[in-house]
Amino acid sequence: MSEVTMAQALNEALRNSLRDDESVLVLGEDIGKLGGVFRITENLQEEFGPTRVFDTPLAESGIMGFSLGLALRGYRPVAEIQFDGFIYPSFNQVVSHVAKHRFRSRGRAPVPLVVRVPFAGGIGAAEHHSESPEAYFAHTAGLKVVVPATPLDAFDLLTQAIRDPDPVFFFEPKSRYWSKEDSELGADSLAMGNARVVKQGDACTLIAYGAMVPRCLETATAASEDGVEVEVIDLRSLVPFDLETCAKSVEKTGRAVVVHEAPLTAGFGAEVAASLAESAFLHLEAPILRVTGYDIPYPPAKVEEHYVPSVDRILGAIDRVLSF
């Protein structure tokens, strides 16, 4: 048992995967000698050489197309997109080819490709460096989408994603890179596609992913001071989505609030709310509410605290669902 950050956990998952499987390759902008903007790939090129850990040109469409070609040739590429807002030039490759190839080949041509995307806000970054584009990819059939909230889950989910035969978009919450956790990596592995109940409660269910999981835990602590015990669920995976765990919790509490940083309209919280309304309607005591970013472009760093869901905003939603 030792204290590790999420950045260290991701680095260790990549190192183990490179060591265990020679078909694993790591590529992206400045991920070689520099070790990436966030140093997630630090020292990997030194250990495994420039043919397995290598820099690419500044061309996200090229990174995606090249990675697809590698996957179809039997490799397991792990591509890094330097920041969330830089991913859009690759979107045609993703939607038209990466997501479709295994289906179109009737399973004969798997695409074992992982795309690592540092995403979301909370670090005071510049424009196009704090976006939450996960709903685009969750909506694209053929892709898996996962989001760790803790170092342990970062290690487990990335290890599983690299071994998966399908393309996996791996969204890493930037504000959690330096979060620490006392854990033995790999000791308590939970399979991709399973949500985790991280706090038990009976008054209301908070459902979140990424950096909003610890924010919901902060909210739960504040609520408990007033005698309100809320349950907190970490989705971990958006596709596949663990509706069963969420519905079981809502059947117990009768109320739900979904929290994410992305804008409200057509955000993944809408899918969670709709699915729960279909599967747990008779158990609901109040409407399902969402606490999210606003329907505006991500704001300048000086005012991002007003955009990202806060403890007060989440507490306000809990008060509303408890008032019905």
- Distance set, CA 133 to CA 49, 261, 281 (Å): 32, 10, 29
Widest distance between CA atoms in the chain: 61
Cβ contacts of 159 within 8 Å, gap of 6 or more: 13, 16, 17, 186
How many angstroms separate the CA atoms of 120 and 175, rounded? 8
Q: Give 34-76 as a DSSP string.
A: S--TT-TTTTHHHHH-TTTEEE--S-HHHHHHHHHHHHHTT-E
Report d(CA 150, CA 82) in Å as an integer.
Answer: 20
Q: Which residues pair with 206 in a beta bridge?
A: 232, 257
Catalytic residue among 129, 139, 283, 306: 129
Query: Strands 230-234 and 196-199, how do they pair?
Result: antiparallel
Q: Is 129 among the catalytic positions?
A: yes
Measure the CA–CA gap between 158 and 56, rounded to whole angstroms.
21
Q: List phi, psi (to 5°) of 116.
A: -90, 130
How many other C-beta atoms are found inside a 10 Å radius of the C-beta of residue 18?
Answer: 22
Question: Which residues have CB under 8 Å from 105's CB, separation 6+?
Answer: none
The helix-helix angle for 151-163 and 6-20 (nearest 10°) equals 30
Name the burial class of residue 108, with classes exposed (0-12), middle (13-18) and buried (19+) by CB atoms within 10 angstroms of its CB.
exposed
Query: Which residues does the annotation mark as catalytic?
Result: 129
